Homo-oligomer: A and B are copies of this chain.
Amino acid sequence: MWGYKRFFKRTQLETSDYLKDDILLIRCSVGVVRSHTEGPKIYSIPVPPSNIGQHFGKLLESGKGIDVNFEVDGEIYAAHKLVLAVRSPVFRAQLFGPMKDQNTKCIKVEDMDAPVFKALLHFIYWDALPDMEEFFGLNSKWASTLMSQHLLAASDRYALERLRLLCEAKLCEEVAINTVATTLALAEQHQCFQLKAVCLKFIAQPENLKAVMQTDGFEYLRESCPFVITELLQYVARIGEHSVISCGHVNKALDGDMNGRRVKQRLH
């Protein structure tokens, strides 16, 4: 009903029953007309997911057309300049920039373990993290976390943004007492703000704090990023405050009070 042509004359309104004590109440019903409707699709053909990563992964495995070698910690890794340059701006500068390496027969990579470089190449070609267990024979969560930590540092060095986030996500998933302090130090050093926040929250939990403080990683954190310890203390103080409030006003029977006290004991 498009009512714009339906007028009500003023005189007619003023003498009508609609006006009560000089008040006219208007009730509006608003309807929404959808200009675009779509029926259910009767036919559809499923499309498989992207496989471009597999295509380049197989190229790496085949070793065909290689034009550059890297020596990492005594191991030699062959690759394709074009692929490396497309994926990493750092490799691009190193291989095609004005200051490019002249000798691409064997470029030496310093300060990196061979398996980390291998995993880096895997990501560059496959566009996915390798399966740590299959790839390195690592079958403990600890070893997998250690590899992700190294790979995070390598991803930052070669400006591989998605690899960095994949490592962050993995480290976040694997966050644990014995490795979290090193992960926090790493997050701080490589500006991984999300991962840093996760680590701080995890360590500041009353049930984790004391145990984390007894790990070697915490000692390393204290030495390499002393200011992060202050941030951690702020987190702990906030949680302590929270639990004092909750035990004072809401529920004394719960372990809020105990948590609050435990946190204080640990930090003095």
Contact = CB atoms under 8 A, between A and B. Distances in A.
B45 A59 contact: no
Contact of A169 (B44, B55, B80, B175): B44
Number of copies: 2
Contacts of A56: 52, 86
A148 to B, nearest CB: 12
Interface in A112-139: 127
Contact of A45 (B127, B168, B201): B168
A176 to B, nearest CB: 12
A127 B80 contact: no
A47 B83 contact: no
A202 interface: yes
Given A80-B82, A82-B65, A96-B65, A172 B43 contact: yes
A165 interface: yes
A249 to B, nearest CB: 25
B169 A87 contact: no
A87 B173 contact: no
Contact of A87 (B52, B85, B195): B52
A224 interface: no
A44 B173 contact: yes
A39 interface: no
Interface in A195-209: 195, 198, 201-202
A198 B41 CA distance: 12
Interface string A45-76: 11110111101101100001100000000000
Q: Which 5 pairs of residues, A with B, have the shortest CB-CB distance?
A: A52-B127, A45-B169, A43-B198, A45-B172, A55-B86
